[in-house]
Structure 1
Amino acid sequence: MSQPGADVPDHRGRTGLHLTGRELDRNPDVVVRDVELLCAGWHVLRKTTFDHRRADGTWSTQQRETYDRGDGAAVLPYDVERGTVLLTRQFRWPVYVNGHPDGLLVEAAAGLLDDEDPVAAIKREAAEELGVQLRDVELVMAPWMSPGSVTERLHLFAAAYSAADRSGAGGGLVEEGEDIEVLELPFTEALAQVREGCIDDAKTVLLLQWAALSGPFSSAADV
């Protein structure tokens, strides 16, 4: 029987989604045996069976489910002169259903890359979500966000901005269901919210702590 996303196109026109990972041979201690496509919704869920050689030389057969939503990018715009950063607040169903009081999460502006270059993608997201035109962006780090089950790698950027760079209201794209509030906060207040647990989104915490420890608001930046 035909399976959408495998031998026939899914609703996004994709095929061959069951082949991802079958060709991997970079690690001689891992031999891929099978890849099963479990679900091809907007993103892709796979179950992979592989043999793994342990440190003691014995082999074991394992299965892992991986959720593939592609890679992403996020950015922390900062204004050193005014001591501010630009963040967003929006409703997130996954955190709401997992215990967050109202699901309204304070975050750095972010989005998925699809097939776009990370720099181009984050400049576009900043314009759409924050209403700010960023010129030069700096790649801060590119961590794996949930390596036990999610394939995503997130490119974290920072960029200087000024009041003159605010070209629009932001808010995201209505046609994509976005309803984003733009927050311009004093950096000291944003960092305090991290300590108090009010800002608890991982990418945002990473960027704010980077800005305090080695970024534009660090003591070294004043030297």
Structure 2
Amino acid sequence: DKAIAEEKEKELKEEEKKYGFIAVSSGSGLDKIFKQFGVDEIISGGQTMNPSTEDIMKAIDKINAENIYIFPNNGNIILSANQARDLSEKNIYVIETKSIPQGFTSLLAFEEDNSPEENFQIMTEAIDEVKSGQITYAIKDTEIKGKKIKKDDIIGIVDKEIKAVSKKLNKTALDLIETMVDEDSCLITVYYGLDVKDTEVNDLERKLKRKYDDLDIEIVEGDQPIYYYLISVE
């Protein structure tokens, strides 16, 4: 029995890879992109269903890797991710991403040949290279910083602050992007959600390409609920 146990342990060791990745995501299109980046375990999450520390621990246990990076992709999930790191006996690094676009940008910075600490540092630094915005709808009448907002208005948010409001989806998106773009910007990426019609997506793409003809524009199917568009500017 001891020989079998030792053999099994040896096999597990042989299968162990250097790096593993866990990402919290909220849409089949977004999941697909994370998978393309080499993410091993995707945890379903978002504004309305934040995964628990236990959910993250389960994902950690499924990965046979020496070093595991966790991308919470939401400010509300960072605490649970850090608790999972502290509870786990594995070598865990939490990259404190607060949005899906930050998660993508951080993963792009990863280099297989770097040490775990070097990767942790460069992936954390990469977070600051991207501005993230969300387009959603107001759930009630309110007034914030002098902006009157009616229930079901389309609102644009950057860093938890409402920067654009209108009755029309693409007008809000364009107004929000205008606040995000500066002279250093080179790429605008829009991930469109489950509830956005193809005609709206095509209209936004056309208007963005006309307005920002010197920038790269990427339109990607995200399939996320709640947020019509997730927007990143780099």
With the shorter chain as reference, the TM-score category is: under 0.3
More strand by share: 1
What TM-score comes out, normalization by structure 2 length? 0.23
Larger relative helix fraction = 2
Q: TM-score, normalised by structure 1?
A: 0.24
